[in-house]
Amino acid sequence: MTDLVITAASVQKTDTTSIKEGVAGVAILAGQYIVRDPTTRRMVLGDGDVAVTDIANSGVALNSAAIGQPVDYAWDGDVNMGAVLAAGRVYVLSSTPGAIAPVADLASGDFTLVLGIARTTSVLALHPQTAEAAIA
């Protein structure tokens, strides 16, 4: 997949960003897509090879965090991704843990988790939606 190249220091919330807090279960960089592990209740890297069923507790990390540190994440609204986006393009969870890719890069066996649509070349309108099914 052609994952976004994200500059962690450039990831920023906007006036419309809805934010939740969690605790890192792994090392996390700002801009990575994270999900809450149902067993540990800590935030781990999302993976397009695995169905994300708890999208209410997943989102784009807004800060970098080491294991055990607090991490804020955007779960809805506009986010400046710190990467170059193609305006109007749909972005999804990549099969590379934590990464985000264009929808055209999904392959057979990947689970579809649409993260949002690029509003501009830097802002993603985040509104996760999942089919909870792998692509045939």
**pLDDT tens digit sequence for 72-104:** 999 999 999 999 999 999 999 999 999 999 999
Pairwise CA distance, residues 136 & 130, whole Å: 15
Q: Show the tokens assigned to 128.
A: 């996760």
Is residue 1 a contact partner of residue 101, using CB atoms and an 8 Å limit? yes
Is residue 120 a contact partner of residue 102, using CB atoms and an 8 Å limit? no
Pairwise CA distance, residues 84 & 118, whole Å: 10
* Residue at 11: amino acid letter: V
Report pLDDT for 1. 53
Computed over every residue of the chain, the mean pLDDT equals 95
Report pLDDT for 132. 78
Is residue 86 a contact partner of residue 123, using CB atoms and an 8 Å limit? no
Pairwise CA distance, residues 57 & 46, whole Å: 11
Q: What is the pLDDT averaged over residues 14-21?
A: 98
- List beta partners, residue 117: 90, 125
Q: Confidence class of residue 115 from pLDDT cuts 50, 70 and 90?
A: very high
Domains and CATH numbers, the chain: 8-134 (2.40.300)
For the entire predicted model, the pTM comes to 0.95
Strands (DSSP E) found in 24-110: 33-36, 43-45, 58-61, 70-80, 90-93, 100-102
Handedness of CA 36, 123, 85, 76 (dihedral sign): positive
